[in-house]
Structure 1
Amino acid sequence: MIEQLNALENCSIDEAKRHVMFHHYKAAGWITLAQKDRDGSWRQYHYRPEQLASELSEWLGENVFFSQNTFFKPQRRIENLKQLRALYVDVDCHQLNYDPHWVVEKLNLEVFQETVPLPNFIIFSGRGLVCVWLIEPVPYQALPLWKAIQNHFYKHMEYVGADKKSIDSTRVFRVAGSTNSKNGKEVIIEYRHDYRYVLRDLQEEYLPELAPSKAKKTGRKSKLVYLHNVRNLHYSRLLDLVKIAELRKYDLKGHRELVCFLYRYWSCCLTDDFEDSLAQMLEFNSEFKNPLRKSEVIKATKSAEKAWEAKNNVLANEEAIAKGYPGAGYNLKNSTIIKWLEITPEEQRHLRTIIDINEKRRRKRERDKHAFREKNGSVSRGEYLCKQKERTEDKLWQLKGAIQRHPKASNVRLAQIIAVSEGYIRKLKKQI
């Protein structure tokens, strides 16, 4: 594939098509194209993969970007993720006065194929660089694991200027062939290979402690496993929040401020980016039947950022733990969220994690019924109980015979004789 890409004519539009085709090969969902004007304003549009290459010529110029992952509807928001298609780290080496090409050579010697794998390509964005690792597409449910690996890559490149805000799942990066208006340089790409990594393989090689079986064996969760589980919870709750809005047809009067606050807080926890979280929350608010005014909703949800800052502050966490809390930030119980948002039992049936004890019990009964049907086929519960009664009576008869033959035998010995557990022996003896 790289040979085919390198055969393309060396001009701006072909460079852009090469970049996009290489990154989003056989993609599904919507891809965002965006352009940033010199005054800082953004315009963006969403295209299907088959449309994207043909539309690039209309966009190419200064400050053109495209999304690294795809979305199931034309909105670049975290809850709309369809496919996670790449891992990436943006290195703002210009802030440390490092030359981008010198940084690449340093990473070649000290990082690549040592603590992180070799990237598929490197974008020289004008003043810095972006390392991109293509992965076999995974659905949005893999976001917490994807985020954990992103953080791992970022930490090993932080010393050369890696930007933590650049590793969220809705990120856009510059398109090859476009220009950076800050210095007039053209965006170019250095291709390395076309192998797509498998997310689970990366986890096993670089973050083995996140393997479920190993986490259970230790009996003690590491900090990384804890953070991974917390990300899982935050993402599930964010999706639940959006589902509540959908179920209520975005008529959230009486709960608008709280819903926006929770969205902004959980989004901050997932993206580590205040500006991006705010932008996504404002877009979410705009979908309400009666949206809050921009200035009003920004002011009403400002404390979400402060809570996130506290959550990521070592001293604040220590003080919170000393007071008996799990940590700083908002550690809300399901019962509290249900009460605040007045979530009905019927609504809870459609949610992932924001559910009460009754809904948990209902789901357990459903799982038990399903397991029963899987195990016993089409046998009715009446027939099953009848068979169980016959089995119990048979074991009682066996136990009485064993006691007659071995009157001094212990419960353990009797269990061995009739091939049941010691606990079942005690249960049967009560019926003699």
Structure 2
Amino acid sequence: MENFSSLERAQYHAWFHHHDSDGWITVAKRENGTFRQYHYQPEELANELTKWLGEDVFFSQNTFFKPERSIQNIRQLRSLYIDLDFYLFNYDMSWVIGKLEHDHFGKDVPDPNILIFSGQGLVLIWLLDPVPYKALPLWQAVQNYFLETLANLGGDPKAADAARIFRIPGSVNSKNGNEVRAEYRHDHKYELRQIQYDYLPELNDEVRKSSVKRKGRKKKVANLFNTYKLHYARLMDLVKLVELRNYKVTGHRETICFLYRYWLCCYSNDPTEALNQTVSLNLQFTSPLSLKEVERATRSAEKAWEARNNEEANKIAIEKGYPGAGYNVSNKKLIEWLDVTDGEQQHLTTIIGPNEKRKRKKVANMEMRREQGVKPREEYLKEQQEKTDDNLSLLRQLMKESPDASNYKLAALMGISESYVRKLKLSIK
């Protein structure tokens, strides 16, 4: 790699990370304090990088199903990553590398595929066998475990969401003029489920949907995992609701933006990115709010998220009888706020009322009975009618052959009860 040009290093890194990707990859460049973003298919990326190299160039670690970088558009989860801002603690790079090698790699985190020396900090990347967006709650749980494990080395909680972009090797960090470089350690791709099994075994029961009760750390980790699932499901329901209404949401714009910003803050722990994505969602409305209106209508969402992460605020909320600080909005209230119809609820995951829950429970029970070999009611009734018809036919034949035979004798010949013989005779008459 030392003899490669900056462009060749960038192209090699893009190939190493994304050569078998599916979906859109984001490339971004910081200019005048803002990001200019474009999206490319994997086969386009290497050639397009010729237009991008220079200062402050970033690209996405995961892919998106449409050219828009946001959590709800994730197509493939292709990597886990931790951004170590160790320079904030005045740690030396060589000491940090030694600490990682001696105390962490292969012990409480797997050996990463790539180390990116970003000019100031260090990014650790673990490549994954691609998994779809439905695995996002599990991905986030593992990601946050890595973050917690490496927090003492400057793990950045604001760089842990699935839509994150990092500097690409071959580009330059304008803060100090250093070129971003990479060290490729191995090309083995990890299975997300295996990482969870090896490093977060307390989630085994949650992933398998067990009803086993947990205590201590196991309960805490399980609760966090379920919280990720809930917040993600809420976000996806909100986006789905907007789609169902063809983005005509006038009358609910402020509420939708507020809820979206709050749930995204809770999920990503990055209030800046949450606001940016809320603004992007708003721009898709047929009649969007102004930027100032979005910021004003959703400002309290960020304050509620900050309170949710404040130990004292949580303590006060619990003393008052609440589950905790922040917003804990019931489905009933969400349905009222957003005027969610019964028809719309059929397409949602969590924002549903009692009637929709009962319908889904009924369907689930029917599917479970089928799996257990229990026949559907229509099939059962049909089989019973066929048995009755066969018994009637046999009874007619026996009565014709032995017209003086008693009900007791007929029952014995047919292998049924005497009372059933009398019932069948009523049908014959």
> Is this a same-fold pair by TM over 0.5?
yes
Q: Does 1:224 align with 2:217?
A: no
Q: Which residue of 2 aligns with 1:276?
A: 273
Q: Which residue of 2 aligns with 1:211?
A: 204
Q: Which residue of 2 aligns with 1:298?
A: 295
Map 1:71-82 to 2 at 5 A.
71-82=64-75
1:377: how far off? 7.6
1:350: how far off? 0.5
| Aligned partner letter, 2:312 | L
1:388: how far off? 11
Q: Which residue of 1 aligns with 2:4?
A: 10
| Aligned partner letter, 2:246 | K
Q: Does 1:178 align with 2:149?
A: no
Q: Which moved more, 1:211-220 or 1:164-173?
A: 211-220
1:162: how far off? 1.4
| Aligned partner letter, 2:48 | E
Q: Which moved more, 1:10-19 or 1:316-325?
A: 316-325
Task: Please state whether the residue corresponding to 2:212 is helix, strand or coil.
Answer: helix
| Aligned partner letter, 1:251 | K
Map 1:7-406 to 2 at 5 A.
10-37=4-31, 39-212=32-205, 216-220=211-215, 222-371=219-368, 375=373, 376=375, 380-383=379-382
* 1:268–1:277 Cα contact (<8 Å) kept: yes
1:387: how far off? 9.2
Identical amino acids, percent of aligned pairs: 52
Task: Please state whether the residue corresponding to 1:218 is helix, strand or coil.
Answer: coil
Task: Please state whether the residue corresponding to 2:33 is helix, strand or coil.
Answer: coil
Per-residue displacement from partner, 1:403-423 (whole Å, max 9, x unpaired)? xxxxxxxxxxxxxxxxxxxxx
Q: Which moved more, 1:104-113 or 1:210-219?
A: 210-219
Q: Partners in 1 of 2:3 and 2:253 — Cα distance?
A: 52
* 2:29–2:37 Cα contact (<8 Å) kept: yes
| Aligned partner letter, 1:10 | F
Q: Partners in 2 of 1:17 and 1:26 — Cα distance?
A: 14
Per-residue displacement from partner, 1:332-357 (whole Å, max 9, x unpaired)? 11111001100000000000111011
| Aligned partner letter, 2:211 | K
Q: Which residue of 1 aligns with 2:392?
A: none
* 1:28–1:83 Cα contact (<8 Å) kept: yes
Q: 1:339 to 1:170 in 2, by over 3 A?
A: same
* 2:10–2:168 Cα contact (<8 Å) kept: yes
CA RMSD of aligned residues (A): 2.1
1:110: how far off? 1.4
Q: Which residue of 1 aligns with 2:397?
A: none
Q: Partners in 2 of 1:372 and 1:225 — Cα distance?
A: 29
Per-residue displacement from partner, 1:231-285 (whole Å, max 9, x unpaired)? 1011001000000000101111110000000000010011100100000000000
Task: Please state whether the residue corresponding to 1:316 is helix, strand or coil.
Answer: helix
Q: Partners in 2 of 1:368 and 1:116 — Cα distance?
A: 41
Q: Which moved more, 1:10-19 or 1:343-352?
A: 10-19
Task: Please state whether the residue corresponding to 1:364 is helix, strand or coil.
Answer: helix
* 1:100–1:124 Cα contact (<8 Å) kept: no
Q: Partners in 2 of 1:40 and 1:385 — Cα distance?
A: 75
Q: Partners in 1 of 2:230 and 2:56 — Cα distance?
A: 36
Q: Partners in 1 of 2:210 and 2:146 — Cα distance?
A: 21
1:368: how far off? 3.5
* 1:100–1:127 Cα contact (<8 Å) kept: no
1:380: how far off? 2.1
Q: Partners in 2 of 1:138 and 1:75 — Cα distance?
A: 19
1:385: how far off? 6.3
Q: Which moved more, 1:156-165 or 1:242-251?
A: 156-165
1:152: how far off? 1.1
Task: Please state whether the residue corresponding to 2:108 is helix, strand or coil.
Answer: coil
Q: Which moved more, 1:105-114 or 1:270-279?
A: 105-114
Q: Partners in 1 of 2:48 and 2:3 — Cα distance?
A: 18
Q: TM-score, normalised by structure 1?
A: 0.85
Q: TM-score, normalised by structure 2?
A: 0.85
1:173: how far off? 0.3
1:381: how far off? 4.5
Q: What are the ranges of 5 or more consecutive residues in structure 2 without an aligned counterpart?
A: 389-429
Q: What are the ranges of 5 or more consecutive residues in structure 1 without an aligned counterpart?
A: 1-5, 390-432
| Aligned partner letter, 1:117 | P
Q: Which residue of 1 aligns with 2:400?
A: none
Per-residue displacement from partner, 1:17-49 (whole Å, max 9, x unpaired)? 111111113111100000002x21210000011
